[in-house]
Amino acid sequence: MGQENQSFGRTVVLGVAFVLASTGLGATEPSISEASRDLPPAVRTVIVAAAPDTLARQFYGRVAARKTVDLSFEVGGRLARVAPEEGMRVEGGAVLAALDLDPFQRAVERAELALRMAEREATRARALTDRAASPEARAEDAETARDLAAVALRDAQAALADATLTAPFNALVAARLTPAHSIVSPGQPILRLHDMSEVRVEIDFPERLFIAAGGLGAITFATTAPDGTALPLRLVAFQPDAGRVGQSYRVTLAFSGDPGAAILPGASVTVTARVPSAARGVTVPAAALVARNDRTAAVLVLEGAGDTATLRSVPVTLAAPTGIGIVVDGLPPGAEIVAAGAHRLADGQTVRRFTGLRVTEN
């Protein structure tokens, strides 16, 4: 019985093998890796372009007013009112705050009365002196008292005028530093104002770009408004002392026109600086360079049209004038070079241009 089962099993196996061989289902097909093993390697390429005449660099900028001042009274007293709210724009000469004026007005009246009395006393003393009824010294003392009373009146009038704060220029109210009905002392800040007659932008400009451009005169600056409009900036000033950490200069720019009400002091903007470039040659990616044993560099240029091309090693001279990006000399603009993985390839090798992954659908 066991021998019959073994014979039956061998018969089934042989039958299945015969069917697979006859239908071709058991034949082994070459894999994709085996089919592509004989193809040239695919490389990613790039067309090199001439180095640009200008370099565009972006910097973080902070909007600032032409000047910011804290207004205060030259006299002390009770703060009766503070007119503008924070964020309001005020015209030059507008009344911003005032102390209680009643004590100052009374002081002016007392000074006026004291001056009139001193004038009468000086007139009587001079008349007595002219009649030889009084010494000259008494007349002179009376006249001195009259002059002192006049000075006291001017002081009282000045104190009355100083009890009112007016805007020294067209301004934006930045902060109310003291609330109304407070007792203030001379020099205590009441309001902080921004002079908006010229809106400025401050940036930190690197020393390396400053030297490469030969100064700030040849550099153009611009920023973009919230609506996308380009806004040119002009140079106002810069601090000639570079920072110790970033080796950069603080540069102050100003908008050539009105930037709009949306750009306020303290806001951040992106400033684009266009710096003249003295670089000559073409720009290449760093991954395209092949280092040689003699400390020189080369790139692999593709020769031939179509899907395949032959590589040719071209020696180049390296430069990095701005410290950002590599410029090479010895390669014509428009040449097609291997963009990455050049160190794995060799001069004279045949390669395929990589055009992306393509999938064929039935």
Q: What is the pLDDT of residues 41-75, one digit of tens each?
A: 888 888 887 776 777 888 999 999 999 999 999 99
Return the domain boundaries, the chain: 42-51+280-353, 56-66+198-276, 68-194
pLDDT reported for residue 290: 87
CA distances from 204 to 67, 171, 245 (A): 19, 27, 12
pLDDT reported for residue 34: 52
220 three-state secondary structure: strand
Is this model's pTM higher than 0.75 or not? no
- Which residue positions in the chain have pLDDT lower than 70? 1-37, 52, 245, 278-280, 321-325, 356-362
pLDDT digits (tens, 9 = 90+) for 260-301: 777 888 889 999 988 877 666 787 888 888 888 888 888 899
CATH code for residues 42-51+280-353: 2.40.420.20
Domain 56-66+198-276, CATH among 1.10.3720.10, 2.40.30.170, 3.40.50.300, 3.40.190.10: 2.40.30.170
CB contact set of 281 (below 8 Å; sequence gap of 6+): 50, 51, 317, 319, 327, 328, 329, 330, 331
Class of domain 68-194: mainly beta
Strands 220-224 and 230-238, sheet pairing: antiparallel
pLDDT reported for residue 22: 44
pLDDT reported for residue 36: 52
Rg (CA), the chain: 44
User: Phi/psi at 19 (nearest 5 deg)?
Assistant: -65, -45
